[in-house]
Amino acid sequence: MADTITADVVIVGSGVAGALLAAKLAASGVKVAILEAGATVDRANAVDAYWQAVIKVPECPYPPVPEAMHPVSDNLDFWYRQNGPDKFASTYIKVVGGTTWHWLGTCLRFVPNDFRLKTIHGQGVDWPISYDELEPFYGAAETEIGVAGHSGDTLGSPRSLPYPMPVIAPTYLDAAFGTALKGTRYEVRATPQGRNSVERDGRMACCGNASCIPVCPVQAKYDATVHLDRAVAAGAALFERTTAVALDVAADRSIAAVRFKRWDGSEGTATGKVFVVAAHAIEGPRLLLASRSETLPNGVANSSDQVGRNLMDHPTQLSWALAPAPVYPYRGPLSTSGIENLRDGTFRRERGAFRIEIGNDGWSWPTGAPISTASELAKQGLRGKALNEALRDQASRHIRLASLVEQLPQGDNRVSLDPNERDMYGVPLPRISYRLDDYVKAAFAASIAAHDDIFARLGASEVKHSPNAQGAGHIIGTARMGEDPKSSVVDRDLRSHDHRNLFVLGSAVFPTSATANPTLTIAALSLRAVAAVKASLAG
């Protein structure tokens, strides 16, 4: 393989941000090179690995290898070097297509006030762009991804275009919640999702395999390989098993090249006119910080000392209970409805907002059910027909709620470079310092009260609440956008304040977390950045 890669635009990372940008640029004739640390996934092999796995965590179809290490949900100290006081519990994978392989598919927009948290509620910071500026790109992102939703239900986010596909039908379980909560403050609504409700773009409709996390066996759920394939078909070059290890900076402070190392031990450089870091909110800042030099001792794009800071998630309160009658979980997409009308209000001055996800996956997340249910019943002495009947009865009544909580940006919540340990390429491992503050803890208390109220209205029993915050899989912050170069990493167009030909894409640029699952906003911001990247090439 060549030791030198040359393109107009060099993109590090092949997840949804990098893939969307690459597809749009390549379609307009721009020469694009995409560097991806991981390898191509064979879907059939991934499905088999999931079914064979004893511990069914999101990463089990995509096990880390020495050449492309990543965190795993069942051992939060495996890749992260956790520096406390709390453990950061969200993960990602390194494969072609990125973490979209095991995302749930939820495609919620932010609500308008999410962009003005400081102005409206006196917390956090404001975004340098408004909802109205991003709204057309939300519509474009929904079209690109292929979002199924109810176009007449805005969920608090005004829209100018209908969803490209009809809504994924709510489940019988959703209907049970809807009936019990009718007329209350809890509005049960269908969740917009990045999965086909009808055949579209050569991909079949969802057939309800109930394994959206960690793998959709039929690709009804969108993943970034959709746009990678489009990019490559339009002339982009995808270099898998190619890990970016440093950015080189020229005398004029422009980015000159990306240094990379391959799985086979070879190495080289990628040169171009414009460089894009789209490597997620852990690996992105890790790369920028590891690119330090005598002239840039704090790393690339870091004159503000904000690279790696303001790490956020949607810390999740998980609760589960037993419905009084069968609601038949463990079927269809893992969640098809939620409660979205609690995402804004004056309470945000005192505590974080949250959205409530209604799960179709029973107790599988908190307990490993229904397998664990069978084990518990067997321990009680049940056997044969009695065991089978008890298992059917219990499993049919499993219900769970998950409240995804807003987290404020804090400078001490951060990704830095571990001083002692490095990966096989010589890059320091990610060191995570993380703490859940009182704003989050107050939201947890409010969410538990809401869960108790909802379960009571359903007549549920055996209510349990997880004592620990769960990770939502939403890694946010660490390279935030802003108008002031002294307090942010990139500008409103996602261009580095420090280096005119460097852009950062992905949830790393979010100034605040809000409550919406981040993928749709990542996609919208990436589509919005296309014009700025093209303008940089012309300049």
Q: What is the mean pLDDT of the chain?
A: 97
| In contact, 313 and 472? CB cutoff 8 Å | yes
pLDDT (0 to 100) of residue 539? 73
Whole-angstrom distance, CA of residue 227 vs CA of residue 15: 9
> Residues near 479 by Cβ (< 8 Å), separated by ≥ 6?
277, 281, 284, 285, 288, 301, 306, 307, 308, 489, 490, 504, 508, 509
CA distances from 386 to 323, 325, 367, 395, 396 (A): 20, 19, 22, 14, 15
Residue 335 has pLDDT above 80, yes or no: yes
| In contact, 479 and 301? CB cutoff 8 Å | yes
Share of the chain above pLDDT 90, in %: 98
The pLDDT tens digits for 204-224 are: 999 999 999 999 999 999 999
The pLDDT tens digits for 389-438 are: 999 999 999 999 999 999 999 999 999 999 999 999 999 999 999 999 99
pLDDT (0 to 100) of residue 2? 66
Whole-angstrom distance, CA of residue 142 vs CA of residue 108: 10
Q: Which two tokens stand for residue 75?
A: 């051992």
Whole-angstrom distance, CA of residue 2 vs CA of residue 197: 43
The pLDDT tens digits for 83-106 are: 999 999 999 999 999 999 999 999
Active site residue 474: yes
* Residues 150-170, mean pLDDT to the nearest whole number: 96
* Residues 440-449, mean pLDDT to the nearest whole number: 98
pLDDT (0 to 100) of residue 338? 98
Catalytic residue among 102, 474, 497, 499: 474
- DSSP 8-class letter at 148: B
Burial 353-367 (b: 16+ CB within 10 A, else e): bbbbbbbbbbbbbbb
Band of pLDDT at residue 54, cut at 50, 70 and 90:
confident
The pLDDT tens digits for 349-386 are: 999 999 999 999 999 999 999 989 999 999 999 999 99
Query: Tokens 């307090």 appear where?
Result: 487
Q: What is the CA radius of gyration of the chain?
A: 23
Whole-angstrom distance, CA of residue 536 vs CA of residue 494: 12
Q: What is the DSSP annotation of 282-323?
A: HHHHHHHHHT--SS-TT-TT-TTS-TTBS-B---EEEEEEE-
Structural domain boundaries in the chain: 4-538
Shortest CA distance to 221 belongs to which of 235, 233, 207? 207
Strand, coil or helix: what is 206?
Answer: coil
| In contact, 249 and 498? CB cutoff 8 Å | no
Whole-angstrom distance, CA of residue 6 vs CA of residue 295: 25
| In contact, 317 and 515? CB cutoff 8 Å | no
Burial 175-199 (b: 16+ CB within 10 A, else e): ebbbebbeeeebebbbbbbbbbbee
Band of pLDDT at residue 55, cut at 50, 70 and 90:
confident
- Rounded to two decimals, the pTM is 0.98
- Type of residue found at 246: A
Q: What angle do CA 63, 65, 67 make, to 5 degrees?
A: 145
Give the sheet arrangement for strand 32-35, strand by strand: 237-239, 32-35, 9-12, 274-277, 502-504
CB count within 10 Å of CB 221 equals: 27
pLDDT (0 to 100) of residue 517? 98
Shortest CA distance to 523 belongs to which of 106, 31, 204? 106
* Residues 48-55, mean pLDDT to the nearest whole number: 92
Shortest CA distance to 68 belongs to which of 237, 244, 222? 244
Whole-angstrom distance, CA of residue 481 vs CA of residue 253: 20
Share of the chain above pLDDT 70, in %: 100
Residue 158 has pLDDT above 60, yes or no: yes
* Residues 128-132, mean pLDDT to the nearest whole number: 98
* Residues 474-479, mean pLDDT to the nearest whole number: 98
4-538 fold: FAD/NAD(P)-binding domain (3.50.50)
The pLDDT tens digits for 272-300 are: 999 999 999 999 999 999 999 999 999 99
Whole-angstrom distance, CA of residue 72 vs CA of residue 80: 9
pLDDT (0 to 100) of residue 1? 57
Whole-angstrom distance, CA of residue 75 vs CA of residue 317: 19
Of 54 and 512, the one with more pLDDT: 512
CA distances from 295 to 231, 252, 300, 479 (A): 36, 12, 10, 20
Residue 317 has pLDDT above 80, yes or no: yes
The pLDDT tens digits for 233-246 are: 999 999 999 999 99
With 0-12 / 13-18 / 19 or more C-beta atoms within 10 angstroms meaning exposed / middle / buried, residue 55 is exposed
Whole-angstrom distance, CA of residue 309 vs CA of residue 313: 13
Band of pLDDT at residue 3, cut at 50, 70 and 90:
confident
Residue 8 has pLDDT above 60, yes or no: yes
CA distances from 112 to 116, 147, 157, 276 (A): 8, 20, 7, 28
